[in-house]
Structure 1
Amino acid sequence: MNTNRRDFLKVALAGAATALTTNTAQARPPKDLPPDAVGILYDATLCIGCKACEVGCKNANAMPTITDPALEQAKDVHAIWDASSDLDSRNLNKIKAFAQGTAAVKDREQDGYSFIKRACMHCVDPDCISACPVSALTKDPLTGIVGYNPDACIGCRYCQLACPFNIPKFEFDKPFPKIVKCEMCRHLQAQGEIPACCAACPTGASLFGRVSDLLQEGQRRLNLPPGTYQDYPLHRLDSGQQRSAEVRGYHPHLYGETETGGTQYLLLAGVPFENLGLPALGPESSAQLSETIQHTLYQGLAAPTLLLGGLVYTVYRRTEAERHADDVEERRHD
C-alpha cells in the first residue's frame, strides 16, 4: 500500500511539472483606446495657477472643503481655504508648482517655474482595475473613463499600491471610508456637459475633447514656434471659443501619449515632466505584464497543482519517517 501511494505522488508531481513547463500562456495583448474615448489636455504653459479648476471640481462633485484656524497669515488672512498641497480624500485634482533657482521666468527649467495639474490619468490599460479584486473600478467601454463604484469596494486599497501615478486616495478619517479619485465628471458628461475643471479654466489650460483629437492638438502645439502668438481653444476643443497667447516653448514630449500604454489625460509643459513630479514610465502597462505572468502560472492550474503536490509529498515523507522512527523505538523496547 505504501509503495502505491509513493508511486502515485511521484506521478502526480511529474505530471504537474510537465504541465507547468509545456503549458505556457501567451502574453496578454495590450488594451486599445476606445474610438470615441474622451479626455483632457492640460497645457502647463497656459496655466496661471488660479486654481479655478479646483473650485469648479469641488462644486461639481460635492467635495468637502476645510478651513484650519491654525493656518493664519499676515495681513488679516485667516483660515486658509483648503490648503492641502497634494491630492487627498478632499481633492480630485490639484494644481501644484515647480520652482528652480530664482524662479524668475515661467516655463523655464533653470531659474524658472511651472504649474502642473494632478488628477486621474484614466489609463488606457489601468493598473488599478487589474489590481482590484472586486471590480469596484471599471473602464467605460465607450468613453474610456475609469469609474469607481463605492458599493462594490472592500477597502483593500490595492488600487493605491498599483497606480504608478499615486492617484487614488482613501478616506482614513471616516468610519465607512471609500476611495476618492477623478472620474472626469462622468455625471456631467451624461447631461451633455464637460468636466468642471475644463469649464472653469479661464485660459484654456484644461481642454476637453476626444482623445484622438487631443493627441493631434498636442502634437500641433509641440511644433509651434516659440515667441509667436497663436490661438488656443477654450474649455473644449470644438467649442469655437479661442484666446490668443504667446507660445512659450515646450519640452518636446506629450506626456501620456505612450506612458504605461497610453492615458486619456495628456500633458504639455515647458520643463521636463520629471521636474514636475511625474514618473518616467515605459510604453507597456504593469497590468499587461502582471496579468501575463499570472495567466502563465495559473493556466491549467499547473502551478497550484505542483505546489499542492509538493506540500502533500513533503508531509507524506515526514509522516513515513516518523512512523519508521516509532517502529524502531517499539522494537528496541521489545
Structure 2
Amino acid sequence: MSIDRRDFLKGALGGGALLATATGAQARDNKPMPPEAVGLLFDSTLCIGCKACVAACKEANNMPPEFSTSEKLWDTPLDLSGKTLNVIKLYKDGTGAQKDSEKDGFAFMKNSCLHCADPSCVSACPVSAMSKDPVTGIVSYDKDKCMGCRYCVAACPFNVPRFQYDTPTPQISKCQLCRHRMKDGKYAACAEVCPTGATLFGKVKDLKAEANRRLALKPGEETSFPRGNLTTHDQSPHVAKTPNYVHHIYGDKEVGGTQVIRLSAVPFEKLGLRKLPERSFAAQSETIQHTLYTGMALPIAFLGVLGFIAKRNTKNDPDKKEGGSDV
C-alpha cells in the first residue's frame, strides 16, 4: 500500500474540516500570583561575586560539592545542575575595568528558580510532582510523585529544573526557596547570608515596591539598601550610591510574572536573561491543547485522515475483484 503526497494532503484537509467545526476552547489568561507570595529581589549592582549565597544554598539543602577544576579543592559549579540549585555568573566586556558597565565592564547575575506566577513546569507535569503553593506561591517538587519524564525540564522558559543523571535513583533539582526552613521562622539561605543585600527576601509586593523605589532614585545618590528579610528587617541596611539602573524590573511581567525579580545596570540580555512575552507559556500551551482536544476534535481528525487513506487504497486495490473473494 502506498500513499502519495496528494492523497495525504486531501486526507489532512478532510480532517482539518473536522477541527474547524469543533467547538473552540476559550483561551485562558495568566494565572495570578498569590497576594501574599514570597520571593527574592536580586540587585546585580550590589552583588560582589563572593558566592556566599551559593555556599549557603548548598549547606541549607544538603547538596554535594561540584568540581570544575582538576584540583577539587573547593566547590566550583559553573551552572545549575543536579548538585547546584543557585549559581553566580559573570558578565565581562573588553577590559572589564568598570563594574556594572556594559562596555569594558563586568557584572554578576544570580541564576536559580524564579517561581513563576503561572509556572510551565507545573502545567507540564503529568503527575503533579511539581506544584505551586496557593499561599506562598513557592513552586515545589515532590520526588515521591515524580516519574522521571523530565517534561518540566523541557517546559521551563528559564532552563532551571535539572535532572540528576549520575545516580541510580535520580530526581529533579531546583530551588524551592528553602521552604523547609520556614517552619522554624527562617527564610531563603541565600538572602540570609548576602553581605550587601544583593539578594533580598520578602513578600513579592514589598520587593516590587523596593525595586521601584530604587529605580526612582537619582544615580549617584546615597541610599540605604535593606538586607536579609525585607518583611522583618532582621539585618541592618547596606549604604551605597545608587547606580544607573536599566529601568525595568525583570520578572515583573515576563511570562506572567515571577516571584524572583531582578534589577541591573547592564541590559538583561547581556546577563543571559532573554526577552519573553507577558503571556505565560502555560497559558499558551493549555489553550492549544484544550482547543485541539475539545469534543475529541484532534483524535477524530486523525481517524478521519486514516479512514480516507484506507478507503482510497481499498478501492484502488488491483487484487480486489468486484464481487470476488480473497480466498
Question: What residue ranges of structure 1 are gaps of 5+ in the alignment?
Answer: 1-12, 73-78
Aligned match of 2:296: 301
Measure the CA separation in 2 of the matches of 1:30 and 1:19. 25
1:65 maps to amino acid: P
Aligned match of 2:45: 45
CA gap 1:183/1:35 in 2 versus in 1, 3 angstroms:
same
Aligned match of 2:10: none
Q: Check conservation: 2:116, 2:258, Cα contact below 8 A.
A: yes
Measure the CA separation in 2 of the matches of 1:303 and 1:115. 47
Q: Check conservation: 1:45, 1:107, Cα contact below 8 A.
A: yes
Alignment of 1:96-107 (within 5 A): 96-107=89-100
C-alpha offsets along residues 191-243 of structure 1, whole Å, 9 cap, x if unaligned? Answer: 22111101111111111111111111111111111112101111011333312
CA gap 1:14/1:106 in 2 versus in 1, 3 angstroms:
closer
Which deviates the most, 236-245 or 156-165?
A: 236-245
Q: Check conservation: 2:22, 2:294, Cα contact below 8 A.
A: no
Alignment of 1:1-334 (within 5 A): 17=17, 20-67=20-67, 71-72=70-71, 79-240=72-233, 241-322=236-317, 325-327=319-321
Residue 155 of structure 1, CA deviation: 1.3
Residue 19 of structure 1, CA deviation: 6.6
Measure the CA separation in 1 of the matches of 2:259 and 2:93. 29
Higher CA-based Rg: 1
**Aligned residues, how many?**
311
CA RMSD, 1 decimal:
2.2
Residue 292 of structure 1, CA deviation: 0.7
Residue 110 of structure 1, CA deviation: 1.0
Measure the CA separation in 1 of the matches of 2:95 and 2:321. 85
**Matched residue SS, 1:311:** helix
Q: Check conservation: 2:15, 2:305, Cα contact below 8 A.
A: no
**Matched residue SS, 1:327:** coil
Aligned match of 1:4: none
**Matched residue SS, 1:301:** helix
Residue 83 of structure 1, CA deviation: 1.5
Q: Check conservation: 1:26, 1:292, Cα contact below 8 A.
A: yes
Measure the CA separation in 1 of the matches of 2:311 and 2:18. 22
Q: Check conservation: 1:65, 1:90, Cα contact below 8 A.
A: yes
**Matched residue SS, 1:325:** coil
**Matched residue SS, 2:89:** strand
Measure the CA separation in 2 of the matches of 1:307 and 1:330. 31
Aligned match of 1:9: none
CA gap 1:15/1:60 in 2 versus in 1, 3 angstroms:
closer
Residue 257 of structure 1, CA deviation: 0.3
Question: What residue ranges of structure 2 are gaps of 5+ in the alignment?
Answer: 1-12
Residue 303 of structure 1, CA deviation: 2.0
C-alpha offsets along residues 265-310 of structure 1, whole Å, 9 cap, x if unaligned? Answer: 0001110010001111111111111111111111111221122133
